[in-house]
Amino acid sequence: MGLIRQVEVRRLNAMKSGRVEFFTPQTSQETMMVRVEAGAIEPLFVHHFQTDQLLVVRGEFVIVILQNRQYFYIPLSEKIPTVITIPPGVPHSALNLSDEPCLIVNAVLRHGDPHERDYRPLKPPFPYDLVAAKQALETLDYPLTA
């Protein structure tokens, strides 16, 4: 996957031993489990002194990134171990368009004390394009399963 300005999306490397795969852990100062309920369409929010490193461990969802007055829809799924890194100051949101909750690990990097406006919802400047978000999920390139 590519780069959207400061946001990085990369598949995790794995080491295989028999029928077990070991994935590279993310360095962090704090690790959170995040549950995004089925059908969730969340408002935008920004972290001021925090970098998110998100990895889906169950289900799928779409991260919405707002940059240059344009939304970017980035699909993530448990079937493709991928980390999205969102640096401070980037407005983002979560869309879970499925019928199942999504479970995410966030390996947080702190760059200072939490800001009072962290996690406060921001009004999106224009509506999300849910068709584009669904299409993003449909374009995921799932690996072949044995």
Q: Supply the pLDDT for residue 143.
A: 57
Q: Supply the pLDDT for residue 123.
A: 84
| Residue 38 belongs to domain spanning | 3-11+23-138
Tell me the percentage of the chain whose pLDDT exceeds 70. 93
Q: CA 77 to CA 56: how far, in whole Å?
A: 6
Residue 109 lies in a domain: yes
8 A C-beta contact, residue 60 and residue 76: yes
Residue 145 has pLDDT above 70, yes or no: no
Q: Supply the pLDDT for residue 108.
A: 92
Residue 17 lies in a domain: no
Render pLDDT for 78-100 as a digit per residue (tens, 0 to 9). 999 999 999 999 999 999 999 99
Residue 2 has pLDDT above 50, yes or no: no
Render pLDDT for 3-38 as a digit per residue (tens, 0 to 9). 445 899 988 888 888 888 888 878 888 999 999 999
Q: What is the DSSP letter of 29?
A: S
Residue 70 lies in a domain: yes
Written as one letter, the residue type at 66 is L
Residue 103 maps to which CATH number? 2.60.120.10
8 A C-beta contact, residue 1 and residue 81: no
Our count of domains for the chain comes to 1
Distances in Å between the Cα of 82 and the Cα atoms of 8, 60, 103, 120, 140 are 10, 11, 14, 26, 11
Residue 1 has pLDDT above 80, yes or no: no
Q: CA 38 to CA 46: how far, in whole Å?
A: 22
Q: Supply the pLDDT for residue 5.
A: 52
Residue 60 has pLDDT above 90, yes or no: yes
Residue 146 lies in a domain: no
Distances in Å between the Cα of 13 and the Cα atoms of 24, 65, 71, 136, 145 are 6, 24, 28, 23, 17
Residue 100 lies in a domain: yes
The model's pTM: 0.87
Residue 77 has pLDDT above 70, yes or no: yes
Residue 18 lies in a domain: no
Residue 144 lies in a domain: no
- Residue 68 dihedral angles phi and psi, to the nearest 5°: 55, 45
Q: CA 109 to CA 52: how far, in whole Å?
A: 7
Q: What is the DSSP letter of 138?
A: H
Residues 132-146: what's their mean pLDDT? 77
Which helix or strand (DSSP H or E) is residue 10 part of?
A: strand 7-11
Residue 102 lies in a domain: yes
Residues 120-134: what's their mean pLDDT? 92
